[in-house]
Structure 1
């Protein structure tokens, strides 16, 4: 049976009852953190992939057997098989699981189910900036001595991985709107960075994208952190109880506001951060681009809800040097700076080029 054929309650019962789980494509950025979390909870895992990677090496380093081919016999004695929507439906491991009646669960659904086990789950959503902001929050909390579980769509240099299994009740999670995957989550805190026209092959219209983000905001049990500078994000927050809304931006009268925004030292943002109208801390970012001022404000608001103080927030944002493939500095060649960036949406490309030009 496929993911959609079971209720959440049935899936929770399956997760409680099984001990052997197989991951198809375990080296994927959305798969390896889930595998690490289940491994830390005592599940016995196997995985397969066709591409060597740091993530695969991390899995084998944890003692998880990984086959570098995909074949029916890799499924072995698995009681649950995890896959991603990127895997071909005719993949031999998926076909073997179907033939034997082994439950198949898509990784987005599994992520949502896992989030329910953390009382302080923070889901970071937005058309742009999810990976960077989730990484910023993670950097702040880790440097502050907290032990969060982390799920990021890119590599965080501080841990040289895109996820980790912590021992606390805090779960910092990149929440992706692709095919409404984030609606499987149960966050205490939802973060909405911005809302733009993307994945229109699924959503059809921008209105439907806004409606999806509104549904995600409504899942939060504690707070919804929203970018007041983004018109569509404001629309997505309409109808959310005011006492749960935490607005941030550059305007006046917001819970979190940035004043004196400027770019210094290679186009890195700097500003004074205010909380409820009172000076909170001065921020100097370690990553370039004006867009990261906004990302860092969301990170500060979320980290503060997780118990970080002003000094810890300022230090973490200063020390954060970027996530993998998010304007990642690779080196210099012939006097030219070389960076790798994942930007693929027009808005993201514009922001990335502006950051590069600002570096001179």
Structure 2
């Protein structure tokens, strides 16, 4: 919602909203003229009613019909749009690249935006995470293109009809909305049918089997695909790959993002820009300075000699990919961190009862890749509790294997921070993962100290 608010404010529309929490995004919205109410009740609607404007209300799937502001707006007869309707209208206004898929949407759409900006294309962007070079998740550009993240979680991406649809992968998730993989495939196929052209990941078996795409990319082979980036060297702080178009080598890339999943996302971004006619050499130069969006292996800083990293991973595949990338950093000794990490500590917050129940064993298997696991309380995200589904149950699942790391379960985020103090040590990579509020761990650690003194190899750093 905030990205759309930023774009509308940039275009001169009076925009308001409500959020009782103080946050950097709220402050940024206010600096560009968005009026943010601290209360979420009928009084905010009454104030707007007296302003003489003709409000249009935009809400997301997360807003229930019982919301007092929404109820008051409906009582007054104000028109109400879903967030996806507004985004669809923006997509219809100019040529758009919309990125869909189960994993990597935010990163890929961010990388497309970054590449286009570096190439002088000045795109409009509606992204689910903060674009590093912008410091925000939305902007109104003056260029030809719009880049948008097309979220599949509630099925509303079928409203979008972009010039280019980029589909990163498909794997069952959001089981509160999709009862099986076939339902997800059907929805994404409808989205693909709306696109003038589709660029898809040939390395995803589900996409190969079910989707018709005009162009494919791969990081595994160059045969039979329009674009490929084959890894030459994978390290803990960078990746070197040979880029191909239609099976022919075009040039070598140096990507400052480790991990095969980041190579795939970057290849998709590069391919999407090439399909828009951006010269390869301009893109190759921009690739060398790419950065991931906020909350994607986001170094918050060092605390008492520990490297604290925040990541949005909340599906087993995402957790596994993030841990694999972190393990490469530990084993290679090369990383974007300000020192060499010596041990991998996973601090995971399960997100939603439905997801935790449906993927309990997969989460357990993924988390066993860490040297130590600390589990935060499950983040419900509005769901009702389910019997037997909890962080403690996940801990038991992790420990069910013959070989597993030590697991600690916290009853609160404060207790999680206390556990970090008690069981971590200097040189640890503290990887906090989840889509809830586990990203507040960094702030909680600032109020705590240990008896240890970090060595000179790990100076305090604020990221």
Q: Deviation above 4 Å: which 4+ runs of structure 1?
A: none
- The question of 1:273 aligning with 2:243 is answered yes
Where 1:293 maps in the other structure, the secondary structure is helix
2:65 corresponding residue in structure 1: 89
Partners of 1:59 and 1:306 in 2: CA distance: 31
Partners of 1:255 and 1:305 in 2: CA distance: 10
2:226 corresponding residue in structure 1: 255
Where 2:34 maps in the other structure, the secondary structure is coil
Where 2:293 maps in the other structure, the secondary structure is coil
- Listed as ranges, the matches of 1:175-254 within 5 Å are 175-221=150-196, 223-238=197-212, 245-249=214-218, 250-251=220-221, 252-254=223-225
> How many matched pairs?
322
1:136/1:320 contact within 8 Å kept: yes
Q: CA deviation at 1:334?
A: 4.0
Partners of 2:6 and 2:237 in 1: CA distance: 36
Structure 2 length normalisation: TM-score? 0.67
Partners of 2:231 and 2:71 in 1: CA distance: 58
Partners of 1:46 and 1:201 in 2: CA distance: 30
CA RMSD after TM alignment: 1.5
Which moves more between the two structures, 342-351 or 304-313?
304-313
Q: CA deviation at 1:95?
A: 1.1
2:326 corresponding residue in structure 1: 356
Deviation track 1:276-326 (CA, whole Å, cap 9, x = no partner) reads 122222112122211111111100111112332212222322212211111
1:28 corresponding residue in structure 2: none
- The question of 1:341 aligning with 2:315 is answered no
Structure 1 length normalisation: TM-score? 0.85
1:306 corresponding residue in structure 2: 276
Structure with greater contact order relative to length (CA < 8 Å, sep ≥ 6)? 1
1:288 corresponding residue in structure 2: 258
1:50/1:68 contact within 8 Å kept: yes
2:80 to 82, 104, 115: 104
Partners of 1:323 and 1:348 in 2: CA distance: 15
- The question of 1:117 aligning with 2:93 is answered yes
Partners of 2:241 and 2:296 in 1: CA distance: 22
- Listed as ranges, the matches of 1:122-141 within 5 Å are 122-141=97-116
Q: CA deviation at 1:246?
A: 0.8
Deviation track 1:133-186 (CA, whole Å, cap 9, x = no partner) reads 111111101111111000111111110011111122311011111111211112
Unaligned runs of 5+ in 2: 331-463
Unaligned runs of 5+ in 1: 1-30
Where 1:287 maps in the other structure, the secondary structure is coil
Deviation track 1:97-143 (CA, whole Å, cap 9, x = no partner) reads 0110101112122111221111x200101100001111111110111
Partners of 2:231 and 2:18 in 1: CA distance: 50
1:80 to 56, 61, 70: 56
1:58 corresponding residue in structure 2: 28
Q: Compared with structure 1, are the counterparts of its residues 247 and 184 closer, same or farther at alpha carbon in structure 2 (3 Å cutoff)?
A: same
- More strand per residue: 1 or 2? 1
